[in-house]
Chains A and B, each alone.
Chain A
């Protein structure tokens, strides 16, 4: 059975590193894995979507609507946008952060209100204040690893295995802060 995880956010939030940590952790568990990333123009502050799929044998690198077991959302509006991709009974993890997209800044569109509540009514939702948790861990940029920590706890893969991949995936000078961020997320 293939597990489908979607990581969504805003370009620049560090979704790529999150997907790499996730991908490398599941291969160490012996699964076949596909991770689909987005590079280039769409990364410039636009919506970014990364798929991580693992199982005995994975063919397609993308996740379709109604097929994600977990959506890990780095931003509220992006969580809302990704909602139709969640499987019935799937889990939504959302960082309680609002980043206004340009149409909202220019006044041509409105940022939807109470997204976290609306998500909570529709699906199994965990809301996280990853920004504060990252600050607490020592670096505001570690939001991505905090969120990986939150998600890790929902999988069968033990804590140490995640920590091991973080050690081999992030640059050494940021290792301590990332391990701390992971721990904070895991214990939220």
Chain B
């Protein structure tokens, strides 16, 4: 049976068919749906771990204990889990172990554009890269087999367009893979120097064997069309190149991007007047070819930035001009992402902006607090950095600056890696104010449970981490729980806590407006008491806009959250029930 699946669902299907037993991940666009799809298979144990490092370690433990295991993450999540990954390269596996990493060329939903292929080389772990959903499924299955055959973890690298494009996949049956017996083997699994020195020898032998494998595997295929142009490519760039060039080029498609073959590339390149390497982001294949002494054309004609398109490739390789198109006669406004109508963060940032504070920001929907009109976030680096970076800012600038400084971090991000920063503040005598934006869910990635929600990935009830008790246990003595829609009270609390010469935590508690359990009703209406002062427009609500310079509320966008009613100085906004 054939089914239309996004790449992520196809990876999940491949893992299911390969008999995977344990999957542990942390959500991150564009990788999230892999684990969400895994949950649909009752045979598989799945979890959202607090962060990617924990997730990887859970998968590693499951593998050592004999199960087939997988961990999935976005590219920057791989940075978080890098520590165990580099060492499990040395230990190797018992049950097949796959790390599925999704890069985001074009940064649709990311803070950087790193190319995760560098990790494969750096950690000496083989890496496969599918170009569509059918390959996502096949390569995932193969990854488990290769993991066990070569005693190595395996990277599966996706990119946004592979993860989130649907194409046809032939569904198969689940393989009956028994969990292997666990055997104590400290020489393999206890990585202290005496053992690790010996394991490093095995790693180098394995890379040699895998390079040999790369020469002959069907993952690396040559397509001949009798052309004088040769193209070496991988992943979604293959799909673009194939569409752009069709039979005007011959292709060497690398399904295995680390380690890469040597002789196969030399032999392929020998047949052509010109050889192009077409790959998004960094010149990884190109550098490999050049190191082999193979002359190729790569980044001198292709960009290091963003996503590629077939048109771009046609232009660079065939010299074809872009199509003539119906052009616009005027500049049109951009439409950047915004906080949703009813978003609890809107109240928080309204107050922070009003107080003119320096805001050390973090990763989540609330990163949008940096955009107009709320525009209060000063920095966004990575998961958890809001807390620790604010500590550094305060140490650099001193006590007075610290009274104008807060960190903002979501509940899930706090669990991920904010807690260690908070401990640092307490331990190293910081006086920072940390605002935990507790919206009862992991928002930006599309509503995943986390340790503070009280539910598992399967929606089962579980112990809920008590944020107040947790902060208290870290040594924070001033913790206030406050509703960010109660603007007056929230402002009072923020003022008091930033003034305080001790560390404090404010838990801004209000659930995400998109949660099914949140039931706002009716729509807000501007009444004739309105003086057109535009105070409500400072909220940056997508439903509040101007028509002929008069404030109006778009009833198709409003969800009746009522925050605008709280900020109107003239009582001119009323709720109309529908």
Q: Does A157 contact B (CB under 8 A)?
A: no
Question: In the complex, are the beta carbons of A105 and B546 less than 8 A apart?
Answer: yes
Q: B29 contacts which of A34, A41, A78, A97 (Cβ < 8 Å)?
A: A41
Interface residues on B, range: 35 or more
Kindly report which residue of chain B lies nearest to residue A35, judged by CB atoms.
B166
| A99 surroundings in chain B (CB, below 8 A) | 542, 554, 556-557
Interface residue ranges of A1-46 to B (CB < 8 Å): 10-12, 20, 23-24, 27, 32-46
Question: In the complex, are the beta carbons of B335 and A44 less than 8 A apart?
Answer: no
What's the minimum C-beta distance from A112 to chain B, rounded to whole angstroms? Answer: 6
Q: How far is the CA of A89 from the CA of B311 in the complex (A)?
A: 19
Mark each residue of chain B from 215 to 253: 1 if its CB lies under 8 Å from any CB of chain A, else 0.
000000000000000000000100110111000000000
Question: In the complex, are the beta carbons of A105 and B542 less than 8 A apart?
Answer: yes
| B207 surroundings in chain A (CB, below 8 A) | none
Interface residues on A, range: 35 or more
Question: In the complex, are the beta carbons of A111 and B333 less than 8 A apart?
Answer: yes
Q: Does A104 contact B (CB under 8 A)?
A: yes
Question: In the complex, are the beta carbons of B166 and A66 less than 8 A apart?
Answer: no
| B108 surroundings in chain A (CB, below 8 A) | 38-42
Question: In the complex, are the beta carbons of B165 and A37 less than 8 A apart?
Answer: yes
Count chain A CB atoms within 10 A of each CB in B168, B327, B537 and give the residue with the most: B168
Mark each residue of chain B from 309 to 352: 1 if its CB lies under 8 Å from any CB of chain A, else 0.
11100000000001111111110111111111000000000000
Q: Does A136 contact B (CB under 8 A)?
A: no
Question: In the complex, are the beta carbons of B322 and A24 less than 8 A apart?
Answer: no
What's the minimum C-beta distance from B233 to chain A, rounded to whole angstroms? Answer: 12
Q: Does A174 contact B (CB under 8 A)?
A: no
Question: In the complex, are the beta carbons of B109 and A83 less than 8 A apart?
Answer: no
Question: In the complex, are the beta carbons of B337 and A46 less than 8 A apart?
Answer: yes
Which of B139-147, B185-193, B365-373, B503-511 forms part of the interface with chain A?
B365-373
Question: In the complex, are the beta carbons of A41 and B326 less than 8 A apart?
Answer: no
Question: In the complex, are the beta carbons of B340 and A105 less than 8 A apart?
Answer: no
Q: How far is the CA of A41 from the CA of B332 in the complex (A)?
A: 21
| B326 surroundings in chain A (CB, below 8 A) | 83-84, 86, 122-123
- Contacts known (A88-B324, A105-B545); A44 close to B310, Cβ less than 8 A: no
Question: In the complex, are the beta carbons of B167 and A41 less than 8 A apart?
Answer: no
Q: Does A103 contact B (CB under 8 A)?
A: yes
A selection of 18 A-B contacts at a CB cut-off of 8 Å is A24-B4, A27-B2, A32-B168, A34-B167, A35-B167, A40-B446, A41-B444, A46-B335, A59-B239, A59-B243, A60-B240, A84-B326, A88-B324, A102-B542, A103-B335, A111-B333, A112-B332, A123-B326
Q: Which 3 A-B pairs have the closest CB atoms?
A: A40-B109, A66-B323, A40-B29
